[in-house]
């Protein structure tokens, strides 16, 4: 049985990006849920990845490393493919999916021709990060909801809930009425 050559246009191309360096752009409509590309590169340990890039300028936030799990990292700088050029976006049109320790980039919504593909890098924060880590990993996506960093969002400290004076007065009225009726209220 002969295979017919596909005359379809490729899904995407790599070219200069306004976000950062190169980017990946849709050449035709990509439907929601479509697997666009697999993130390829050499699979190495975290220790080897750290060793490879130990002399890298600490102020350089550019990376082709993708963490698979606690043991493995994909270094797309070695035998990588076009997936390494998909930029970060705070309001992404793609997401990464880990299937059997393989990383795929999938469309979150329908992407129109000419649109740049992006996914949220969510780079993990570490306790020993420098004070200017958000500047080093600054986001340039331009989204209205941009958080300004490719790093995962900072965890917010939960503050005790404060009642407005109006609600506090209403609560106290309810407590007084309850006491008259013989009920006890928590303080």
Which CATH number is 124's domain given?
A: 2.170.270.10
* Structure confidence at residue 111 (pLDDT): 98
DSSP structure class, residue 143: -
Helices and strands, counts by H and E, the chain: 3, 10
Residue 168 lies in a domain: no
Alpha helices by DSSP H, listed for 2-144, are 46-52, 133-136
Residue 172 lies in a domain: no
> The domain containing residue 98 runs over which residues?
12-136
For residue 52, being part of any structural domain is answered with yes
Structure tokens of 154? 């900072």
Are 141 and 118 a contacting pair, CB within 8 Å? yes
Mean pLDDT of 41-66: 85
Pair 16, 23: CB distance under 8 Å: yes
Whole-number pLDDT of residue 185: 45
Segment 52-79 shows an average pLDDT of 85
Q: Select the more confidently predicted residue: 67 or 61.
A: 67
Q: Count up the domains in the chain and report the number.
A: 1
Distance CA(135)–CA(88), nearest Å, equals 15
Q: Is residue 146 part of a domain?
A: no
| Dihedral pair phi/psi, residue 84, rounded to 5° | -65, -15
Residue 12 banded pLDDT, cuts 50, 70, 90 = very high
The percentage of residues in the chain with a pLDDT greater than 70, rounded to a whole number, is 76
**pLDDT digit string (tens) for 14-32?**
999 998 889 999 999 999 9
Do 135 and 60 meet the contact criterion of CB atoms below 8 Å apart? no
Tokens of 7: 């005359």
Range from 97-106, 111-120, 140-149, 171-180 carrying the lowest mean pLDDT: 171-180
Asked if pLDDT for residue 39 goes beyond 80, the answer is yes
Within 10 Å of residue 28's Cβ, how many Cβ atoms? 13
What value does the mean pLDDT of the chain take?
84
């Amino acid at each position: 049985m002969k295979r017919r050559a596909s005359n379809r246009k490729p899904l995407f191309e790599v070219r200069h990006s306004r976000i950062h360096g190169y980017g990946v752009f849709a050449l035709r409509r990509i439907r929601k849920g479509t697997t666009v590309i697999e993130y390829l590169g050499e699979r190495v340990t975290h220790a080897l990845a750290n060793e490879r890039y130990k002399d890298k300028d600490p102020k350089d936030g550019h990376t082709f490393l993708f963490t698979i799990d606690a043991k493995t990292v994909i270094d797309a700088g070695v035998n990588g493919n076009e997936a390494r050029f998909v930029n970060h976006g705070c309001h992404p049109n793609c997401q990464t999916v880990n299937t059997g320790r393989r990383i795929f980039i999938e469309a979150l919504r329908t992407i129109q021709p000419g649109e740049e593909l992006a996914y949220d890098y969510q780079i993990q924060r570490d306790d020993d990060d420098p004070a200017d880590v958000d500047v080093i990993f600054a986001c340039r996506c331009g989204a209205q909801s941009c958080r300004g960093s490719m790093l995962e969002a900072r965890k917010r400290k939960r503050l005790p809930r404060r009642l407005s004076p109006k609600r506090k007065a209403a609560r106290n009225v309810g407590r007084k009425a309850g006491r008259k009726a013989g009920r006890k209220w928590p303080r």
